[in-house]
Structures are given as structure tokens and as C-alpha cells.
Amino acid sequence: VWDYFSDDESMRYRDRVGYLQTLKDGLGIASVRTEFRMKKLINPDGSFNDSTATSYIDSLKAMKEAGLGPPSLALFTPAKWMEREAQQDPEKFFDHYRQYAQKVRSICREAGVQPKYLQVMQEINTRWQTGIPYDQVLHMFPITREVFARDFPNSKIMTTILTSGAPDWRQFTEKLVKDAGENLDAIGFDHYPGSYKNPAGVPIVGKPPFEAFGDTEPYSWIAEQKIHGVLKDKDVLLTEVGVPAITRESRFQRFGYDRIVQALDHFLLEQERKGDSEIFSDIGFFTGGYHRAVDTKTPGGLLDFKPWTLVRKDGEGNWALTNAGSRVKHLIDTRINPPKQ
């Protein structure tokens, strides 16, 4: 599950552990994908924000204590000064990025946690997310590998691509794999059926909820490329899939998760019948607990103004599963990762 609490400097360590245990035991998730924000960690003069670094260290230690598996770390959210620097002085930007990556490596080392994936930027086929030119992002892959190879040689370098509402994402994927080559180990795909493209239940522009949430069309292309095409030698992840909650006990969100996972399960079963069972290395839900960072808006439409979280505080300040969240563990146990026969 994607989670934003790593850089909440006000969160006490024991609260972190308890919250992460709620994600593990309540949602049934195995690991967390979280972001170490460039703009919070590094300053223009190359110095670092110690309080942010401490928060990141504590978050990694708490993940381990809560019994979660190795996390995926998103190296993302550059400050505006970094975006300008990437445009005007790429070499200086690469120096700053290397310093930032070295700091993240030292944070992981101090926490005693090896990241499973190191995600460089986010949804790099969209300008509003990345803010760094494509050619510079390509160069960030080998920098990240070089920095982490000494202490974490098994961590894999990845990035993500948005499928929903991005008509050229297939061509972009093919170009990315060709351009990045061996510098990129994995690609994650963010797919939001029933939300951005063909929004569920919205007259004229959308489709009926059952049909909209059941959209698996991108998976077919991804599976074909994983088995026979450009993704054969890459890990493939479904990095983000989710549904916003119109209300706290949203039937819309619960039905959306039920239908999304049902459709995904049917798709994967069909792949297994063909003898192709290993398509996605990881499947990630968006998002964990409600956090002010979730309020960050993107130009994706009105649904971005609704909470996408599966866990929220109740009236007594305790973490509680939403209506949809209470279903997720069952969906994982019975459809996504059922017991082996």
C-alpha cells in the first residue's frame, strides 16, 4: 500500500509502529511503498534537514518492528529550485540528486532496512507529476544504482507510468525500456479504473460502475509485453490502484474495490490457464492512512478532492478501517494471494 506518513515529523515512534501494524493486520498488506521527498530532505546549499532524516529513519525502523517486508522507496517530489536547476544546469542538478540519494542510502543503512525497490520519480509520462525532463530522469537511474550498489546491491531500480487518461502510455513504455536499458529493473503501472477514464456512474462521460471498475484493458497489453515483448526482462508492478471515498462509509469505494479485485482476479486466472501466472511482482493499493499529504491536488478532476484512504482516525483518535478497508484483507486472502494448495 502507498503510505505518506514517513515524513510526518510529529508522529511518535510507538504511534508509527501501531499504525503500521494496523496496515499489516487490518488490511493484510505485506509491505509499504513510501516517499522520501527531495524537497523536504535536501536544501539548495547541499545541506540536509536533520528532523526529516530522523523521521525517515524512524519510519523504516517502525516498518521492520511492525513485521512488514522490505519497503519500496519513492525518490520523488523535487523542489521548484531543483526543477529549474534540471532545466538550466543539469550537471549541478545531478550533483544534488547524487547527494540526496547518498543521504537516503545512509538513512536505510542506519535503520537497518534494505529497500526492495528504489523508485526514481513518479508517473514520468506526465509532466504535472515529475517536473524533471525525460532525458534527466534517464540519467538518474544509473546514478541511483551506483549510489546504492555498495550497501544494497539487491535493491532494484524502477519508475512508474500512469495508464488512466494517458493515451500514449504504451508507446512511452516501449521507448522507456529501449532508452533505459539495463539501468532500469522494473516498471510500475498506475491504473485507476472507474476514476479518471470512464468515471464510474458519471452520466455522459462515464460508464456504469460494474463496467467502469471492471476495466482490465491495460493489463492485457502489459501481460503480452511481459510474456513476449519489451517487458520480458523487467519486474512489472501494479503500483497504484484505488477508489476514492465519497463518504466515510462509502458504498462507492467498497463496491469499487470489490469489483476491481474481482476483475483483476478473473484476468489473472485466465493468464494462469494459458500458463502465464507471473505477471505482476507486486500489487499496491492507494492509499493507507489519511494524511495531509493526500490533499495534494493534481489536475485529474474532482475525484482528487475526495479521500482515497483505507484507514482513518475514529472519534476517539484510533486508527480504524473504512468500509472498503474492512474488505481489503479478505480480497487479498481470497483473490490476490490465496493459500497455496
Helices 50-65 and 13-22 cross at an angle (nearest 10°) of 50
Express each pLDDT in 3-44 by its tens digit: 989 989 999 999 999 999 999 999 999 999 999 999 999 999
The structure's pTM equals 0.94
Residue type at position 177: V
pLDDT confidence band for 279 (50 / 70 / 90): very high
pLDDT confidence band for 58 (50 / 70 / 90): very high
Tell me the percentage of the chain whose pLDDT exceeds 90: 74
pLDDT score for 315: 85
pLDDT score for 299: 47
Residues 24, 288 contacting (CB under 8 angstroms): no
Tell me which residue of 155, 227, 151, 235 sits closest to 189, measured CA to CA. Answer: 235
Residues 11, 56 contacting (CB under 8 angstroms): no
Looking at the predicted structure, is the pLDDT value of residue 117 above 70? yes
Residues 101 and 189: their CA atoms lie apart, in Å, by: 23
Average confidence (pLDDT) over 192-218: 88
Rounded alpha-carbon distances, angstroms, from residue 46 to 38, 93, 94, 194, 278: 11, 11, 12, 43, 42
Distance from chain centroid for Cα 247: 24
Distance from chain centroid for Cα 210: 25
Give the helix/strand (H/E) hosting 319. Answer: strand 319-321
* Residue in the structure block whose three cell numbers are 540519494: 101
Identify the weakest region by mean pLDDT among 21-25, 123-127, 202-206, 229-233.
Answer: 202-206
What are the phi and psi torsion angles at 312 (to 5°)? -140, 165
Residues 78, 38 contacting (CB under 8 angstroms): yes
Helices 50-65 and 90-111 cross at an angle (nearest 10°) of 40
Express each pLDDT in 281-297 by its tens digit: 999 999 888 766 554 44
